[in-house]
Amino acid sequence: MVLDDLGSSLRDSLGQLSGQSRVTEEDVEDIVKEIQRSLLQADVEVSLVMDLSDSIKERALEEESPAGTSARDHVLSIVYEEMVDLVGDSTEIPLENQTILLAGLQGSGKTTTSAKMAWWFAKKGLRPAIVQTDTFRPGAYDQAKEMASRAEVDFYGDPDEEDPVEIARKGLEETDEADVHIVDTAGRHALEDDLIAEIEEIERAVEPDRNLLVLDAAIGQGAKDQARQFDDSIGIDGVAITKLDGTAKGGGALTAVNETDSSIAFLGTGEEVRDIERFEPSGFISRLLGMGDLKQLTERVERAMEETQQEEEDWDPEDMLKGEFTLKDMRRQMQAMNNMGPLDQVMDMIPGMGGGLMDELPDDAMDVTQDRMRDFEVVMDSMTELELENPRAIGASQVERIARGSGKDEERVRELLEQHKMMSQTLKQFQGMGQGNMERMMKKMGG
């Protein structure tokens, strides 16, 4: 995710302010440029980015830094405040009787989020129930049921009923003792018309008080279209961002929020039912900037910088050169390729990497076609963190589970593992080549 860079590039620009008591126009330009670059690459609306830049510039140049605050801290706090303003307040979620409908693409984390939200409501003293209407994804029923039992909340689903609208209707009846109903819906890999029609019907049947769009934090470009389509069909009141515990930082969600004129409601930070937080703007922006919690800015800037550094160290392009190429690296590359175009063209853009180098690779080493890539992503969505980090540990029973969870053939799962192995071997062949070029390439591809 491109915003991953923001913390570090901002730190570099801010670092140049060290020891200065005032900022110059040039300093501010540099900083604003970094922010613009990151936000634009992460698909945040141009107009939003421009408004943000103008406010930052104006404030940084006109406001005096408070006594005892360095120019650097002052500018950082302005950036932080303006960005908090940009993401807006948290979606209002009253602690009372209500029905919440979850929408989103397959793999975005709806089922997991419904259980997490139920757990969250239960902790607040309410009695939540999950109504599972996903009849499309094999395994959704079992997964939801299992998570509901872990969250210790009421659950309704019916693996023998094919009509999700019927399940929704019946689910509300059967769980009428509960005061908060969370209705999980089916996703698809893309926004097909039948998905939209189905969710509209469910919406009419359950008459939710609010509709939340569940978005994977790693989503970039896709957030906008998804958000618009779901908003057009059922109206989106809030966004739940999932998988914030990964390397991605949720920039696409800003676009979705803007697109639907809504706000962020919840953040998912892991696979367990308790890995959920209510969205809190200041903490979120701190994380987006990769700088820990910036709330008490002046005290924390230094430590925050170290945290960012640590995050960077967590993904080292050199790991790949050493042959430690994980499925996460592979996914990152696939996503980068999706954003940037075919790999050979990407290579051409990097100094020293173009001009025939790709010809030396075995043809099929990088041959991941669009369809397979999409399948692979879905398959990877059903893997655990551990499996993504250490694909060699994936045995036959895991393959079976992953296939079931993702709704893909076991063959596809094995194909993915094969492809990963091949790419990892290919990367090993690169080991002898110029380190500088390689690092630049990896950074680019990972970015």
Within residues 87-116, the interface with ligand GDP by CB under 6 A covers 104, 106-112
Instruction: Give the orientation angle of helix 327-340 with respect to helix 410-429, to 10 degrees.
Output: 90
DSSP state of 353: T
- CB neighbour list of residue 393: distance below 8 Å, 6 or more residues apart: 386, 387
* Contact pattern from residue 125 through residue 144 relative to ligand GDP, giving x for each residue in contact according to CB under 6 A and a dash for the rest: ------------x-----x-
Q: Are 132 and 233 in contact (CB under 8 A)?
A: no
Sign of the CA dihedral 211, 214, 220, 226?
negative
Q: How far is CA 95 from the centre of its chain?
A: 27
* Cα–Cα distance for residue pair 241/198, rounded to 1 Å: 23
Nearest approach in angstroms of CB 271 to ligand GDP is 4
**H/E run at residue 12:** helix 4-15
Is 252 assigned to a binding site?
no
Nearest approach in angstroms of CB 274 to ligand GDP is 11
Q: How many residues bind ligand GDP (CB under 6 A)?
A: 23
Nearer to ligand GDP, 77 or 382 (CB): 382
Report if residue 411 touches ligand GDP, rule: CB under 6 A.
no
Closest CA to 447 of 37, 17, 172, 28: 37
Nearer to ligand GDP, 113 or 419 (CB): 113
* Contact pattern from residue 380 through residue 399 relative to ligand GDP, giving x for each residue in contact according to CB under 6 A and a dash for the rest: -xx--x--------------
Q: Are 343 and 358 in contact (CB under 8 A)?
A: yes
Nearest approach in angstroms of CB 137 to ligand GDP is 6
* Contact pattern from residue 143 through residue 172 relative to ligand GDP, giving x for each residue in contact according to CB under 6 A and a dash for the rest: x-----------------------------
* Contact pattern from residue 241 through residue 270 relative to ligand GDP, giving x for each residue in contact according to CB under 6 A and a dash for the rest: -xx-xx---------------------xxx
Reading the block at residue 7, the tokens are 């913390």
Report if residue 53 touches ligand GDP, rule: CB under 6 A.
no
DSSP notation for 201-258: HHHHHH--SEEEEEEETT--THHHHHHHHHHHHT---EEEEE-TTSS---HHHHHHHH
Is 431 assigned to a binding site?
no
Is 268 assigned to a binding site?
no
* Cα–Cα distance for residue pair 420/399, rounded to 1 Å: 14
Is 444 assigned to a binding site?
no
Report if residue 187 touches ligand GDP, rule: CB under 6 A.
yes
Within residues 215-244, the interface with ligand GDP by CB under 6 A covers 242-243
Q: Which residue is nearest to ligand GDP (CB)?
A: 268
Q: How far is CA 312 from the centre of its chain?
A: 17
Nearest approach in angstroms of CB 269 to ligand GDP is 5
Nearest approach in angstroms of CB 389 to ligand GDP is 11
Is 108 assigned to a binding site?
yes
Nearest approach in angstroms of CB 172 to ligand GDP is 20
Nearer to ligand GDP, 32 or 267 (CB): 267
Nearest approach in angstroms of CB 6 to ligand GDP is 21
Nearest approach in angstroms of CB 107 to ligand GDP is 5
Reading the block at residue 200, the tokens are 């509209």
Is 169 assigned to a binding site?
no
Reading the block at residue 75, the tokens are 């500018």
Nearer to ligand GDP, 203 or 381 (CB): 381
Closest CA to 149 of 130, 121, 167: 130
Helices (H), 100-216: 110-123, 140-151, 164-174, 193-206
Nearest approach in angstroms of CB 297 to ligand GDP is 27
* Cα–Cα distance for residue pair 313/6, rounded to 1 Å: 15
Nearer to ligand GDP, 106 or 333 (CB): 106
Q: How far is CA 211 from the centre of its chain?
A: 19
Q: Where is the binding site, in residues?
A: 104-111, 184-188, 242-245
Q: Where is the binding site for GTP, in residues?
A: 104-111, 184-188, 242-245
Positions in the binding site for ligand GDP (CB under 6 A): 104, 106-112, 137, 143, 187, 242-243, 245-246, 268-271, 275, 381-382, 385
